[in-house]
Structure 1
Amino acid sequence: MQSSIRLSDVEVPFNLANRDERLQFIDDIMQEFLFQILMMRKRWGLHEGGVLILGITAIILGAWDLGIGELAGGGDYRRVGLFGDNSGLLHVADFSLMLALLSLISWIGVFGGLWIRYPIMRENIVYLTIANLGVQLGHIYSHSNSTKFPFGSELGDWGGVAVGNLIMLFLSIIVVHRAVIETRDIHVEERHNHPDPRKVAREWRDHSLRAWSIGLGCWIILTNISAWSGSHSVALRPPIEQDMTLFVAMHVISGIAAIILLVHILWYPQFMLGSSGDRIQSTRAREVAGEYIPRTTKNSQGICPICNVETPALKLSDGSYEVPCTTESCQNVGVPGTSCKECNSMIPSRITCQKCGSSTTIVSHFSRSEAW
């Protein structure tokens, strides 16, 4: 992660963990949000601004009906389709058709801008776009059978929303979220490994994605709200007596919030991993492509670098080290440089070989490939 400030350096204005240790996770999440907001203020520029303006424009143009009355009047619901003499699209008001085409062009601009700006997320842009369309079509289908959905709806009317959200959850959580998380894991394991477990722990903290995951979940919710309110505002059959302005406003506001979150969802992995050249893929996809071989998770026994005899030093699967306490009456083991939990003695950072008598550092008892 290339930035002038690290996530672990950010200080939250309050510390709930001081009151209750169980609230530490809230402090951690708030720290991540503050860090990401700070980085957005520093890193977002004209490109992100242009994409957001296009997205907001697309949403507003698609929902605009003032002075037209096409949506408020319900249109001619007997005409459907995109092509042909009876096409519903070709029989809308001219100004409404123009706004629809401008909205479509704006959405194409949004997609193109995201595609150019976030190259390592291109595959995931496609997945999230399909997920978004799935939810939109699902709500449209449910409203086509029940114009006031979900009010007064039957069980079968939920089919469209259910299928749309299954597509959304599969693509956004199982595909995109998993790919980003596992790419982050490989990135930290391969590029930020270090003999000092404290530095490794800090790297894991600096590459935390909990706030990003919350943002992805909020995007899913906002996409559903926008799709439902948009479908609800145009689902009634004429003559329409109910004022649907509230639902149109809800559609626009939630849609704008969703596009802002979408840019953030695509930007942060690019910001975190883009400079390293990592591709956003799941571990399984990398294994199939032969690009990744899972590391062994077994513990490693230390070997004296002088006489090649096994020593009591142990390197755990998480990269940390354990050595026995040197106090005669204590049988405990601990991390070098820390206090023993049994006798409070200092766990040594060097170990003496019982065969050759050499005193060497713990790290030197493991091969370079194991240490790094």
Structure 2
Amino acid sequence: MSETVEATEMASSTMSEMPFHLRDMNLKFEFSNIHPIFSPIDKVRKEIKFIVLLAFTEWNKELIIALCVGTIAFLLGSLSADIFSGGNPELVGLEGMRKVGSFSFFQMLLALIGWVWFVYLMWTQFPVMRVHSISMLLIWNGLMFLQVLFHQKNSDFPKNMVLSDMMYGVLIMLVIFFFIYFFWKAVIETRDLHVQIHHVHEDVRVMEKEMREHSLVGWGSLLVFWLVNAFYSCWNGVHYVARRSDQNSMFYIMHIISGLLIVPVFMLLMWYPQRMLGSEVRISTTAAITAEIELAQGSLKIQDDAKCPECDADVELQRESDGQLSVPCATETCTNQSGIIGTACNICKEKFPTRFECKSCGVNLPYIDCVPDLEAW
């Protein structure tokens, strides 16, 4: 019982490094007071509030600069005289580029430089999310391109839409949905593995508490909001240009307003998983990790600098990629034999021990208490 209390206190001391926790969030008004069916809405609101407040508290100068660069790059590319006028539909390609005014051309170059700088900042600030950040930016461009395809033969899209004219746009949309789902699944399963490895506990209730503290319902809601908002922004922009003969400035205004939300929400989506899981983790699905282990024939192991909590003596153990602990066999005749705790040794058929007896100080405790605390959350 004392060992469980000590482990809980250790986890609590690590969690105290956070300025505040998800469980500390309170809402001034809860929809669940009207009817319990609205409790999921309160859960999403509470988690989004936690994410936003944590970002306001912890974002450093580099992240704020990245936010400003991305926002300015978007405005430079959107607030253009050629876009506002609708452009000339008869000029395309290089000929259209040559007819662009000098100021608009310079503005376009500045926007391009800004986006390159923004991508570089994302690459350096979010090392864990590098691939996913590039994928999300490509998805944003894909949303704009599919809107162009939707409006190519129907400037009033979605009015009078013909399914045969939407084939390529729908194909791009399906690809986007696939990558969004893969991104969401990779983050969710990496979170699950993180909790199983770094917050493992004998008491299931403690594990459930940690899983609630690492909830990603709010993050997933932000992901859905980002996708819908980016789709809406792209539709407004393309729709405004497509209807040159009957331009409505409201489409252009809504394109700008909704577009201003894309960059900050995008950065929250990249920052929050890295903040939760740490900068050393690799965001990947369980299937990908399992395949990697099988290809490596089970040789992938995480080396832990395990020490006795009483005397700091080295403890011989390894942690597998799935989070299970591999310890040496307790039988003296079995040398250099290690295996998962609780499984049987191939030589002596004895089960690998669950407890460790220190030869320096004589303390006897579970192996799990010797694992260093590496979690970022």
Does residue 96 of structure 1 match 2:111? no
- Structure 2 distance, partners of 1:154, 1:259, is 33
Which of these residues, 167, 172, 175, is aligned with residue 164 of structure 1? 172
- Structure 2 distance, partners of 1:160, 1:254, is 25
Does residue 53 of structure 1 match 2:68? yes
Q: Secondary structure at the match of 1:88?
A: helix
- Structure 2 distance, partners of 1:259, 1:120, is 18
- Structure 2 distance, partners of 1:267, 1:213, is 13
Does residue 253 of structure 1 match 2:260? no
- Structure 1 distance, partners of 2:194, 2:87, is 54
Q: Secondary structure at the match of 2:274?
A: helix
CA shift in 2, pair 1:235/1:23, >3 Å: closer
- Structure 2 distance, partners of 1:246, 1:284, is 46
Task: Tell which structure's C-alpha radius of gyration is larger.
Answer: 1
Q: Secondary structure at the match of 1:278?
A: coil
Deviation, structure 1 residue 24:
3.4
TM-score when scaled to structure 2? 0.70
Residue deviations 1:129-149 (CA, integer Å, cap 9, x gap): 221121111111222222222
Does residue 134 of structure 1 match 2:142? yes
Map of 1:12 onto structure 2? 27
Q: Secondary structure at the match of 1:87?
A: helix
Deviation, structure 1 residue 232:
1.2
Deviation, structure 1 residue 89:
2.0
Q: Answer whether contact 2:222 2:269 (CA < 8 A) is retained.
A: yes
TM-score when scaled to structure 1? 0.71
Q: How does 1:107-146 map to 2 (within 5 A)?
A: 107-146=115-154
Map of 1:225 onto structure 2? 232
- Structure 2 distance, partners of 1:16, 1:74, is 44
CA shift in 2, pair 1:289/1:87, >3 Å: farther
Q: Secondary structure at the match of 2:20?
A: coil
Does residue 71 of structure 1 match 2:83? yes
CA shift in 2, pair 1:35/1:231, >3 Å: same
Query: Sequence identity, in percent?
Result: 30
Q: Secondary structure at the match of 1:119?
A: coil
Residue deviations 1:111-139 (CA, integer Å, cap 9, x gap): 11111111100011121122112111111
Map of 1:283 onto structure 2? 286
Does residue 202 of structure 1 match 2:209? yes
Matched residue type, 2:90: R
Deviation, structure 1 residue 295:
7.8
Map of 1:333 onto structure 2? none
Q: Answer whether contact 2:193 2:322 (CA < 8 A) is retained.
A: no
Q: Answer whether contact 1:178 1:282 (CA < 8 A) is retained.
A: yes
- What do you get for the CA RMSD once the two structures are aligned? 2.6
Q: Answer whether contact 2:236 2:255 (CA < 8 A) is retained.
A: yes
Does residue 27 of structure 1 match 2:42? yes
Residue deviations 1:202-255 (CA, integer Å, cap 9, x gap): 100110000000000000001111111111121235xx3x33321111111111
Residue deviations 1:46-83 (CA, integer Å, cap 9, x gap): 22222222222122211223xx4x334443323322xx
Structure 2 unaligned segments of length 5 or more: list them. Answer: 1-14, 294-299, 301-319, 325-364, 372-377
Q: Answer whether contact 1:148 1:232 (CA < 8 A) is retained.
A: yes
Structure 1 unaligned segments of length 5 or more: list them. Answer: 297-365
Deviation, structure 1 residue 293:
5.9
Deviates more, 1:176-185 or 1:25-34: 25-34
